[in-house]
A and B are shown apart, each in its own frame.
Chain A
């Protein structure tokens, strides 16, 4: 277990370095700058002398390599720099965004697992039944839905028509405000999990060891609980891990639509305004989250299936 953890952590540093270099390079060749972004669709103007001062203040006139070296050095010390836009430390900005993002991702994944795995399991146990057909139609629909459109439909139905839930915003951070964005974000993973679970369970149900268990007279319930569920879980956990890890990055659309104050909405705003330190900070946060979840998934494999060992 410790070996797995150690190897995983050893991979984090080069991965992060590669991501930092890639983002830095991309932003340095991207047209437009933070200062031109202040124009705000022609709503604001900024004069050349101020632009020059801003470029100097923010070190934008320094050579690219020098800026990159400084950035890597500061990042290694935990300093993600200062936002061009707010002039606040990026770490401070991220600290206010990470908890809402985590809450949203956790809620979305909880919804996806509860609904998706249950539907997939039920569908696999009764292949060809109405529940199988209905859940697979739902799964395919969920995979093909646009988050933006689906979110709007949820707003329309549950906020405007039924008046059950607020349509947008963080409110007090409670359950009422998180339900709609979580469902909008979780519908894709839910659909994928339903299909994956169904396939995995069907696969295990036809395996030799299940037939053996049944022929030994083991009850169907015990077969499912002891043999099918545990073996099918490996594939399901892989999908959960991948989806969970990438969900923070995917939350951009949903966060913007529901005015949810997470890392995703901060990132998209910062991209449009070319606030490079903040974009880099957001991407680092999302990548770190992805790597952390994947490490946890790797560890979970070892717990669930003792045959899995890393050498």
Chain B
């Protein structure tokens, strides 16, 4: 019932967006967006940073080969007009846009893609986007210093690029990340690119006051006719939720990201509740059990017992203030392989006790749960879980660490269990590989889960060229995970953005709600920012 309710809400949001799209966008004006995840930007050189915070600005200044189409719920070409794949699914020929200009006035060509992807593979640098560019044949040779050019990239002509990849995957998942943006060589080589970024995006860089804001201006030669609508886009750094709240109510900012406390207040306010954008983001919050360190975790019945013993709905309602969607399995609802028919484990302590007894743990067992202080998936949640698990005999000892340390602990396997947030999209295959037995712990197999049936489903999916059939296989794999419960599936993040009444064209982007498509945004005449 709950799931139906939020699906209806999601449809309503999309419906509202469609109705809004019928209005005529107004040209001009300024939008003041917020960057909420840190008190500064890491870098304005998109190749140097994988951070969501930095991509808020990078979306305005830069462009990638693919982009996420929120309305269609899939990846689409951005810098190419068309693409054709070879029969073996390994060679892609892109017809690039011939109307895309960098902010310095030069037209983009195939050379710029080749340069950008080759730069990512510079072996002396740790460019985060290398993980994606490594898909291209010969990229690893460049990384190792054995070649200077990526053999899998071939310029046919200025606007045709042939890309040969090493795996039968959709390259869209690899080349839509901000860290694979296409950059102009001549600007990068000036040496101060992070201070004066030049890109292909709808807005050109004007000013950066580190720790305060980035100001961008409309780029008149942007390749989408009539866009962008806005004259100016400012991104204000505001890491404190309480301060954002005051600034938003004071109309000093046009968008704000809400935490659970603000979400309750905004929903209850007759005016503010009219400007709330919600989406189930591709982040799955879960308690990851280390099957290799605690023997009981190796038994499926024990893991299921944990799922039955915890009243996740109650926690989401009372502690997370409904700012989350109940998770069923690993893949989030926006994933093509998400199975809408699967229902989450119900709260059933008696069944939990029965399963524990069957598994040989009638008196329960004890384990340590490493957690951060995060309000939506950290210590408050653990404190709520402790008495629930105690009722079925499981003793849980919380261990508090700083959030920065969580990933390191998971990678080293220095945990019995930890609770955290995990990026689970949009590439379902890559996401599910976190449970593939050959995936090393350092590459996200933090449970040490091993299941031959699951491995086979993933192997079959990787070989399947038909994307619909591949999604079916991945759906089966995801459902298998649901049954195996290698982790306790807690929730999918409900990202909430508040926006002022004069703002239009925002999209409920499930990959990250702060990553908007600034060329589609417009403000009406009532906007106070001139």
Bound CA–CA A269/B249 (angstroms): 26
Bound CA–CA A132/B423 (angstroms): 59
List of A residues within 8 angstroms of B130 by Cβ? 49-50, 53
The answer to whether A262 has its CB under 8 Å from any CB of chain B is yes
Q: Are B212 and A170 in contact (CB under 8 A)?
A: yes
Bound CA–CA A42/B123 (angstroms): 26
Asked whether A96 and B210 contact (CB < 8 A) given A36-B404, A41-B374, A53-B126, the answer is: yes
Partner of A39, one of B39, B125, B242, B406: B406
**Which chain A residues in 257-280 approach chain B with CB under 8 Å?**
257-262, 265-266, 268-269, 272-274
Q: Are A41 and B403 in contact (CB under 8 A)?
A: yes
Asked whether A156 and B239 contact (CB < 8 A) given A39-B406, A44-B50, A169-B213, the answer is: no
**Which chain A residues in 138-159 approach chain B with CB under 8 Å?**
152, 155-156, 159
The answer to whether A288 has its CB under 8 Å from any CB of chain B is no
The answer to whether A129 has its CB under 8 Å from any CB of chain B is no
Q: Are A32 and B127 in contact (CB under 8 A)?
A: no
Q: Are B405 and A43 in contact (CB under 8 A)?
A: no
Q: Which segment of A4-12, A65-73, A82-90, A290-298 sits at the interface?
A: A82-90
Bound CA–CA A157/B209 (angstroms): 27
What is the chain B residue whose CB lies nearest that of A37?
B404
Q: Are A159 and B250 in contact (CB under 8 A)?
A: yes
**Which chain A residues in 18-66 approach chain B with CB under 8 Å?**
31-33, 36-51, 53-58
Asked whether A32 and B421 contact (CB < 8 A) given A44-B50, A46-B128, A266-B40, the answer is: no
Q: Tally of A-B residue pairs with Cβ under 8 A?
A: 185
**Which chain B residues in 46-79 approach chain A with CB under 8 Å?**
48, 50-53
Interchain nearest-CB distance for B381 vs A (Å): 14
**Which chain B residues in 235-267 approach chain A with CB under 8 Å?**
236-240, 242-243, 246-247, 249-250, 252
Q: B209-234 toward A: CB 8 Å interface, digit per residue (1/0)?
A: 11111000000000000000000000
Partner of B444, one of A45, A169, A170, A258: A45
Asked whether A38 and B51 contact (CB < 8 A) given A50-B128, A261-B209, the answer is: yes
List of A residues within 8 angstroms of B243 by Cβ? 152, 155, 167-168, 257-259
Interchain nearest-CB distance for A189 vs B (Å): 22
The answer to whether A114 has its CB under 8 Å from any CB of chain B is no
The answer to whether A93 has its CB under 8 Å from any CB of chain B is yes
Bound CA–CA A48/B143 (angstroms): 14
Interchain nearest-CB distance for A37 vs B (Å): 4
What is the chain A residue whose CB lies nearest that of B283?
A42
List of B residues within 8 angstroms of A88 by Cβ? 43, 194-195
List of A residues within 8 angstroms of B212 by Cβ? 169-170, 259-261
List of B residues within 8 angstroms of A156 by Cβ? 246
The answer to whether B346 has its CB under 8 Å from any CB of chain A is no
Q: Are B252 and A170 in contact (CB under 8 A)?
A: no
The answer to whether A97 has its CB under 8 Å from any CB of chain B is yes
List of A residues within 8 angstroms of B53 by Cβ? 40
Asked whether A50 and B126 contact (CB < 8 A) given A32-B408, A163-B250, A268-B39, the answer is: yes
Interchain nearest-CB distance for B460 vs A (Å): 24
Q: Are B421 and A48 in contact (CB under 8 A)?
A: no
Q: Are B211 and A265 in contact (CB under 8 A)?
A: yes
List of A residues within 8 angstroms of B238 by Cβ? 168, 259
What is the chain B residue whose CB lies nearest that of A92?
B195
Q: Are A272 and B237 in contact (CB under 8 A)?
A: no
Interchain nearest-CB distance for B76 vs A (Å): 23
Q: Are A53 and B125 in contact (CB under 8 A)?
A: yes
Bound CA–CA A37/B128 (angstroms): 13
**Which chain A residues in 91-132 approach chain B with CB under 8 Å?**
93, 96-97, 100
Q: Give the B interface residue count (CB, 8 A).
A: 64
Q: Are B43 and A43 in contact (CB under 8 A)?
A: no
Q: Are B51 and A256 in contact (CB under 8 A)?
A: no
The answer to whether A207 has its CB under 8 Å from any CB of chain B is no
The answer to whether B453 has its CB under 8 Å from any CB of chain A is no
Asked whether A170 and B213 contact (CB < 8 A) given A38-B50, A43-B37, A85-B43, the answer is: yes
List of A residues within 8 angstroms of B170 by Cβ? none
Q: Are A257 and B128 in contact (CB under 8 A)?
A: no
Q: Are B211 and A167 in contact (CB under 8 A)?
A: no
Partner of B51, one of A44, A50, A97, A255: A44
Q: Are B404 and A42 in contact (CB under 8 A)?
A: no
Bound CA–CA A54/B440 (angstroms): 19
Asked whether A49 and B401 contact (CB < 8 A) given A42-B422, A156-B246, A269-B39, the answer is: no
The answer to whether A160 has its CB under 8 Å from any CB of chain B is yes
Q: Are B420 and A262 in contact (CB under 8 A)?
A: no
Asked whether A86 and B43 contact (CB < 8 A) given A40-B37, A155-B243, A256-B240, the answer is: yes
Bound CA–CA A87/B43 (angstroms): 8
Q: Are A167 and B246 in contact (CB under 8 A)?
A: yes
Interchain nearest-CB distance for B262 vs A (Å): 13
List of B residues within 8 angstroms of A261 by Cβ? 40, 209-212
Bound CA–CA A169/B270 (angstroms): 28
Q: Are A166 and B420 in contact (CB under 8 A)?
A: no
List of A residues within 8 angstroms of B194 by Cβ? 86-88
The answer to whether B317 has its CB under 8 Å from any CB of chain A is no
Q: Are A47 and B443 in contact (CB under 8 A)?
A: yes
The answer to whether B483 has its CB under 8 Å from any CB of chain A is no
**Which chain B residues in 128-167 approach chain A with CB under 8 Å?**
128, 130-131, 134, 143
Partner of A42, one of B127, B405, B421: B421
Q: Are A42 and B210 in contact (CB under 8 A)?
A: no
List of B residues within 8 angstroms of A43 by Cβ? 37, 51-52, 283, 421, 423, 512
Among B126, B239, B444: residue with most chain A CB under 10 A: B126
Bound CA–CA A269/B42 (angstroms): 10
List of A residues within 8 angstroms of B123 by Cβ? 53
Interchain nearest-CB distance for B58 vs A (Å): 13
What is the chain B residue whose CB lies nearest that of A263?
B211
List of B residues within 8 angstroms of A269 by Cβ? 38-40, 211, 239
Interchain nearest-CB distance for A163 vs B (Å): 7
List of A residues within 8 angstroms of B269 by Cβ? none
List of A residues within 8 angstroms of B127 by Cβ? 50
Partner of A57, one of B126, B250, B283: B126
Interchain nearest-CB distance for A156 vs B (Å): 6
Q: B184-221 toward A: CB 8 Å interface, digit per residue (1/0)?
A: 00000000001100000000000001111100000000
The answer to whether B386 has its CB under 8 Å from any CB of chain A is no
What is the chain B residue whose CB lies nearest that of A161?
B250
Partner of B423, one of A38, A44, A58, A97: A44
Give A residues with C-beta under 8 Å from B. 31-33, 36-51, 53-58, 85-88, 93, 96-97, 100, 152, 155-156, 159-160, 163, 166-170, 255-262, 265-266, 268-269, 272-274
A sample of 22 cross-chain residue pairs with beta-carbon separation below 8 angstroms, ordered by A number, consists of A31-B405, A31-B408, A32-B405, A38-B50, A41-B421, A48-B411, A48-B440, A49-B131, A50-B131, A53-B126, A100-B211, A160-B246, A168-B247, A169-B212, A255-B211, A257-B240, A257-B243, A261-B212, A266-B39, A266-B40, A266-B210, A269-B211
- Of all A-B residue pairs in the complex, the 7 with the closest CB atoms, nearest first, are A54-B126, A261-B211, A42-B421, A32-B405, A36-B408, A53-B126, A32-B404
Extra 16 A-B pairs, beta carbons < 8 Å, given A32-B405, A266-B40, A273-B404: A31-B402, A33-B408, A36-B411, A41-B372, A44-B51, A50-B128, A50-B130, A55-B126, A57-B125, A86-B48, A96-B209, A155-B246, A167-B246, A170-B213, A259-B211, A272-B404
